[in-house]
Amino acid sequence: MNFDTVIIGGGLAGLVCGIKLQEKGQRCAIINNGQAAIDFSSGSLDLLSRLPDGKNVQNIDRTFAQLVEQAPQHPYSVLGQEVVLAKAREFEQLAQSLNLDLLGTLAQNHYRVTPLGGLRASWLSPNSVPTVLEGEAFAHDRIAILGIEGYHDFQPQMLADNLLQQAPFAHCEVSTGYLNIPELDQLRQAAREFRSVNIAQLLEHKLSFHNLVNEIKEAAKGASAVFLPACFGLDTQVFFTQLREATGLALFELPTLPPSLLGIRQHKQLRYRFEKSGGLMMNGDRALRAELDGNRVVKIYTEIHQDIAISAQHFVLASGSFFSNGLVAEFDRIYEPVFGADILEMADFAADKRLSWTHARFSQPQPYQSAGVIINSHCQVQKSGQFLQNLFAAGNVIGGYNGIELGCGSGVAVVTALWAAEQIGGGDEY
């Protein structure tokens, strides 16, 4: 099997990279070994929420120099400000063309409401999620937070109590309640199946839409805004939008415990675009090893195709971190399993020194969370001290940053994916 580009990893980074390459006329394949981190995400994307010194970021442009000074090994620092901002803008345009229903701009972070009633800085969020800007009050004075009877992954009272502690919601009158939705009774009898995905699947096929609209309106008790768990609309946001229009209320949805419907929707839309443009998804397969000729990758072998080589002109490593086995931790080492790429060492972390992997305090950011492969300013991957000519990396497999601590995981994924694709397939914009 021969392709122009083979991408290892079918998550956010791999799909964004594949979409751009396909639209530039390449023939691409994505080796996808299972669920990606995007299926467990909130649906919001972060570009950069805070600096390593703890300072909150409102505008990445104004704080980029500080990031480079404090974190010179961060992928953004390696790529440079011009590239990062250009690729972030490019993704905003791509998101619009994909109808991902995202709101936000790199000019200013906003704050999205979390399922526990906190506020988290974000770059882009689904337009169905409640958000506020810095220093602004929420637009509605009366909010009803409605859970679903028997569904424990969403706690209205806890959310309400915490929400009222946030300055943008201090002026609000918040009530709580529960929807019964009789169609869900069969799921209530099997608690393990009472999850957001199962609820959404059932409601799309067996729901009395009119009765649900009336139940929401009655439970709202005069509130103009209603917060619901993200359980309505499995493949797209269309079903939720129809609910919003039919109730005449400002309905908002919040992500629940994983798997997350908001992330799953985005994953499906990205995968649909990739396949519609001619890309091949090799699902349920896993890259095992690679053959090199000098500083070029020639072919790889996978779990399903162990005796059939997959060759390409270019390869993209978008396999993620430990969650998806893009990185593997054994007792005495952390390594990248397909190419044996060099792992980035930092001041407080070394891949072959186990005691450097963790911080003494459990609540502190852990050094292993910054583990990943070494790249240069073209996203080329380093192996044995040499950058491979046709192997690029994108997303969480790259080292030098803690995406959770800094609030930049999604941003790194899309920026490096688009930049790697440009190195491979040219530089035309969407």
Question: Does residue 34 sit in the same domain as residue 95?
Answer: yes
Beta strand 131-132 with 125-126 is unpaired
Q: State the CATH number of the domain containing residue 91.
A: 3.50.50.60
112 with 42: CB under 8 angstroms?
Answer: yes
Contact 45, 124 (CB under 8 A): yes
pTM: 0.94
Task: Tell me, yes or no, whether 219 and 367 share the same domain.
Answer: no
Residue 300, domain member (yes or no)? no
Q: Does a structural domain hold residue 109?
A: no
User: Looking at the structure, do residues 68 and 135 belong to the same domain, yes or no?
Assistant: no
Judge whether 44 lies within some domain. Answer: yes
Q: Are residues 278 and 390 in the same domain?
A: yes
Same domain assignment for residues 224 and 372? no
Main-chain phi, psi angles of 153, to 5 degrees:
-85, 5
Asked if 203 and 237 sit in the same domain, the reply is yes
| Shared domain check, 271 and 248 | no
Residue 54 lies in a domain: yes
Q: Are residues 275 and 205 in the same domain?
A: no
- What's the domain count of the chain? 2
In a domain, 111, yes or no: no
Q: Would residue 326 be called left, alpha or beta, if left means φ above 0 and alpha means ψ between -120 and 50 degrees?
A: alpha
Indicate whether 33 belongs to any domain.
yes
Pair 278, 238 in one domain? no
Identify whether residues 272 and 371 lie together within a single domain: yes
Domain that holds residue 333: 2-102+264-286+318-425
Give the dihedral sign, CA 329/5/374/48: negative
- Quick one: 74 and 168 in the same domain? no
| pLDDT tens for each residue of the chain, 430 residues long | 899 999 999 999 999 999 999 999 999 999 998 778 888 899 999 999 999 999 999 999 999 999 999 999 999 999 999 999 999 999 999 999 999 999 999 999 999 999 999 999 999 999 999 999 999 999 999 999 999 999 989 999 999 999 999 999 999 999 999 999 988 888 887 767 788 988 998 887 767 889 999 999 999 999 999 999 999 988 889 999 999 999 999 999 999 988 889 999 999 999 999 999 999 999 999 999 999 999 999 999 999 988 899 999 999 999 999 989 999 999 999 999 999 999 999 988 999 999 999 998 888 889 999 999 999 999 999 999 999 999 999 999 999 999 999 999 999 999 999 999 999 985 444 3
Identify whether 135 is part of a domain.
Answer: yes
113 domain-assigned: no
Sign (positive/negative) of CA torsion 71, 75, 78, 80? Answer: negative
CATH number at residue 232: 3.40.50
371 and 339 together in one domain: yes
